[in-house]
Structure 1
């Protein structure tokens, strides 16, 4: 479990296919504090398991399905990635509850500065509009953000300059893919209501 508060942006050192899996090796600093083999770290919002690490790098195995269904398919050496260690039970929940299980890929339609702030509009996968709530929460590439606008399967958020400077959004452009995770509580409510039998 995570909170969508990015601890640092790491950098892709390598992302290569092996006989067993795709191997993702990242340059990192803050996310390595107290790290152990088997720990969970959110990489662009996707929960991955640490398989190896040293003083300045961390490695993960990535399933082909994960690579194909997430923005990982666009990663290359030098790409910036958002990193967050898993939530401790005695830690702060600064954003919202994020599982690290990506619901779908979004595509950036607009990312531009407006005044001192930044406006980000993302087109989600077909049918995702039912998960979008004005002023609700969403994780975009692992960043906890508040939905400011909803139009069908598209959403918009406003970003403060700090968010742009400390996340990978500073390198994003229109047309780039982003990982989306919709609000966990909303998904549970939808599942609960869908399972109710119709009134007699």
Structure 2
């Protein structure tokens, strides 16, 4: 297999993957917006060749696997970079903490599964965690994303979640009908139901 070099637009990763069950794997940087392509290549090169500088809570600070880099690239990383490019970002150093807050609001409004949303936020934290070894123009803001707040709290799954409940309220007519039937069960149906339960208990 021909080894890829940094200048290639497609990096063939198969030479670094030894598991037989993995199919052909590559990073296609043509899928990345042109303005952020070089920065993305630098970042992916660091993920593939450098020891891990940042790890999610509970994970070991060892180099992540080549296959994991591929999964991150084709899922979370492409999504993040496309979103930034659509908002006029041409360098990671242009990203602000306010923009990262807007990113959270945007992905929550999309109503994506929380597991996928959590992985997306983790990848932004990972990119920030490598800022020390990225060139200045490729660094996220110095302050930790979302002031270091736990992902569960940001997404509204923690005990003291900061985000509001986005579940639509039950319409007033629907609530009135539910209450009406609840009262009817108590006043009309409860006695026969309890009597039948007692009779069943005596028989069995």
Same-fold status (TM-score > 0.5) = no
Structure number having the greater strand percentage: 1
TM-score (ref. length: structure 2) = 0.28
TM-score (ref. length: structure 1) = 0.28
Computing the radius of gyration from Cα coordinates, the structure with the larger value is 2
Structure number having the greater helix percentage: 2
